[in-house]
Amino acid sequence: MRHPLFTAALGALACATTTLAGTLAAPALADDPRDPAMRNAEARARDAAEIRRLNREQAAMVARRDAQYAQGWEAWRDARDGRADYEAARADYARDMESYARARRDHDANEAAYAAARSDYEADMRAWRRDVEACRAGYREHCAR
């Protein structure tokens, strides 16, 4: 007694073998003058029409492909020709960055000067308030300020 999976596998193999044999047994004989299917004028006309259709499709595909190639080459030429514009823009960017760095250094210097001036002002205000308190307390030498 055979196992059911073996029987199923054997059946699938037989089916595949039959299909393959059927496919290989009927080779395509298009454009072969000895092909019995091409002996009448109507079959030859159908075959010629199909060939023309396939040729038109292939020509359209080649035209689309060539248009894409042309577009790519045009983009490449534009990029190559635009390199001078790119170099000019790059130089402008370098100048802008240097200007920004200068402005940043100036700003940092101004902030440091402001912080120092503010510190001096606050120290002077503390000294003035001490003098005011001393003046109010009766120490007249502090009232001159």
Residue 64 three-state SS: helix
Indicate the Cα dihedral angle 94, 98, 103, 105, nearest 10°: 140
Instruction: Tell me the CA distances in angstroms from 67 to 63, 77, 97, 104, 119, one per residue in order.
Output: 6, 15, 42, 51, 72
Assessment of whether the complete model's pTM goes beyond 0.85: no
Alpha-carbon span 19 to 61, nearest angstrom: 33
Closest CA to 47 of 56, 38, 36: 38
Taking phi over 0 as left and psi of -120 to 50 as alpha, with beta for the rest, 26 belongs to beta
Show pLDDT as tens, one digit a residue, over the chain (145 residues): 555 555 655 566 566 566 655 555 555 555 666 777 777 888 888 888 999 999 999 999 999 999 999 999 988 888 777 777 777 888 889 999 999 999 999 999 999 999 999 999 999 999 999 999 999 999 998 888 6
- Say how far apart CA 124 and CA 121 lie, in whole Å: 5
